[in-house]
């Protein structure tokens, strides 16, 4: 929603659907969410501009993730 609002699409809320859980959540768009989106964008840009990768955080759930090989490609 942050990117959409930056591109001129103004909506006051969005619906997130979780079909497998049969749940819906409504996200209300306000100044707090805009600030959070700006912070996330800034943090993402900082990570992208680094010369190296951020340190690896080892978690048990990672073994089931579809990105596992991408994260652990250089690990021994």
Instruction: State the 10-residue block means of pLDDT for the chain, 76 residues long.
Output: 80 87 89 87 92 81 85 70
Q: What is the pLDDT of residue 41?
A: 92
Pairwise CA distance, residues 18 & 41, whole Å: 25
| Sign of the dihedral through C-alpha 6, 4, 44, 37 | positive
pLDDT attached to residue 33: 81
Provide the pLDDT for residue 59.
85
Whole-number Å distance between alpha carbons of 73 and 76: 8
What are the residue ranges spanned by the domains of the chain?
Answer: 2-71
Q: What is the pLDDT of residue 76?
A: 54
């Amino acid at each position: 929603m942050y990117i959409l609002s930056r591109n001129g699409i103004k909506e006051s809320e969005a619906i997130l659907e979780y079909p497998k859980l049969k749940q819906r959540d409504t996200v209300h768009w306000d100044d707090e969410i805009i600030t959070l989106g700006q912070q996330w964008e800034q943090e993402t840009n900082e990570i992208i501009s680094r010369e190296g990768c951020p340190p690896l955080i080892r978690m048990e759930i990672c073994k089931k993730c579809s990105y596992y090989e991408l994260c652990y490609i250089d690990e021994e």
